[in-house]
Structures are given as C-alpha cells and as structure tokens.
C-alpha cells in the first residue's frame, strides 16, 4: 500500500517547475509548500520514513523492500533516466 500510494502521489506531481532565474538551483520548502501535490508527496515520504524508523527490524526490511521494488525501481528510476525535451 505504501509503494502504491507513493506511485499515485508521484504521478500527480507537475512535470515542470517554474524557474526562478539562472541562480536558482534547488527547491526550498517555501517553494514546494506552494504545490499541494508536492506537499502530499513529501508528507507521504516523511510518513514512510517515520514508520520505518520505529518498526521492528523484520517489518522495516519488508517495508523498505516494498518501497524499493514497488516505487523506486519501477517508477522513480525510469523518470530519472528520461531525457528532458529541453536538453535535446
């Protein structure tokens, strides 16, 4: 459920962010607080982290495996390897 939830929230994120000039190099919390889908995604990541921090080691390992195999590898990895049209 955690990995599926992360995937759903990730798919609702905007594909582009407004640039704030050439000196802009990172997304600060004040910036992402203006994007409700990003707030939901970040809150979900923080929740997953909190659960993993306090879970029994067996449960922790299973949760990490679900997130890795159910979100990071199939969803986030391809997105990171995708070439932006802007770079072409």
DSSP code of 13? S
**What does pLDDT average to over the chain?**
87
Please write the tens of the pLDDT for every residue from 54-78.
Answer: 999 999 999 999 999 999 999 999 9
The pTM score is 0.78
Please write the tens of the pLDDT for every residue from 32-62.
Answer: 888 999 999 999 999 999 999 999 999 999 9
For Cα atoms 4, 16, 75, give the angle at the middle one, nearest 5 degrees. 25
Higher pLDDT: 29 or 87? It is: 29
DSSP code of 87? G
Taking residue 53's Cβ as centre, other Cβ atoms within 10 Å add up to 8
């Amino acid at each position: 459920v955690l990995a599926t939830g992360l995937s759903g929230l990730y798919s609702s994120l905007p594909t582009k962010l407004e640039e704030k000039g050439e000196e802009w190099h990172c997304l600060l919390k004040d910036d992402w607080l203006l994007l409700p889908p990003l707030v939901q995604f970040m809150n979900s990541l923080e929740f997953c982290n909190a659960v993993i921090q306090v879970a029994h080691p067996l449960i922790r390992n299973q949760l990490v495996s679900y997130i890795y195999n159910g979100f990071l590898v199939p969803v986030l990895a391809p997105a990171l390897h995708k070439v932006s049209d802007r770079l072409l």
